[in-house]
Amino acid sequence: MPRQVVFHETGDADVLKIEEQPLREPGEGEVRIEVAAIGLNRAEVMFRRGQYLEQPQFPSRLGYEASGVIDALGPGVEGFSVGDRVSTIPAFSMVQYGVYGESAIVPAHALAAYPENLSAEEGTSIWMQYMTAYGALVDYGQLKEGDAVLIPAASSSVGLAAIQITKAAKATAIATTRGAGKKQALLDAGADHVIVTDEENLAERVMAITDGHGVNLVFDPVAGPTLTALAQATARGGIIFVYGALAPAPTPYPLMEALGKGLKIQGYTLFEITSDPARMARAKQFVYDGLAAGDLKPIVACTFALDDIVEAHRYMESNQQIGKIVVLT
């Protein structure tokens, strides 16, 4: 029987348990994969804590991203075959599906082949990060050459994806990090500028970099009180995309900055892309094209064994990683 990660209550990482469960058969429109690697995401930490967009139903599975090989097809599935090498796109609810384990069943529309030159670890590290950044910066934000993009918490996998997408568009990537320890790594990852927010005034530094203009786009997973500084750093008519809620404090609305500059502050999640078949098709093609051109290159921070899933979640919560944390089955 395959081992699966489940939890029976919300809480800290140690609520995650590994249990043997019977091998299930895929239903209508579903595909089963033998999992090789699992990509971890902040959404799963929040889901485990009971702080996500939806609440778990116990016993609950979790997980959006996995790579592996198809070993069973449900009725009505077309376009895939047993033996195909695939990875999962976050295009489903974790209340219904979860990929943490040795076997996973997902809807067929949430599967895609990944390039042959990528490892299983890299294959599970592309869809969430690149599609999330693409949706905000390219689909909604219409990123173009010469724009300046501010990327808070840039050492995450999505933050690094945003840097790569910004640079591919010949725009300026301004990354932020709280401490100086990650500054060089972000410069090495392609950021044009790195602002250490524990040491520098964010808005003043952005204005100096942009000759007083401000940034055209902000791609923020943090929210909280820093939103005011982000608004101060944004150019007239700019857009602030808030796609996460990592800050432990409430998020005040920067009314005067928004009024004075005509700012758009837009809540955003990847599901706006993956729930729309046409948008998702464009996003997939963008990722495939970027990988083929070498503009996009997934960065794996480290790997853990499935038996160490609790430690993997604790490491994610420590904020030490630069890139994707991957669990191998």
Q: Give tens-digit pLDDT for 210-241.
A: 999 999 999 999 999 999 999 999 999 999 99
DSSP assignment of 73-94: E-TT--S--TT-EEEE-S-S-T
Averaged pLDDT score across all residues of the chain? 97
**Domains of the chain listed by start with CATH number:** 3-126+299-328 (3.90.180.10), 128-271 (3.40.50.720)
pLDDT of 247 > 90? The answer is no
pLDDT classification of 55: cutoffs 50, 70, 90: very high
The secondary structure of the chain in percent helix, strand, coil, rounded to multiples of 5, reads: 35, 25, 40
Rounded to two decimals, what is the model's pTM?
Answer: 0.95
Q: What is the distance between the alpha carbons of residues 50 and 79, in angstroms, rounded to a whole number?
A: 36
pLDDT classification of 293: cutoffs 50, 70, 90: very high
pLDDT of 246 > 90? The answer is no
C-beta separation of 247 from 229 below 8 A: no
C-beta separation of 210 from 148 below 8 A: yes
Read off the pLDDT of each residue in 129-148 and give the average, rounded to a whole number: 98
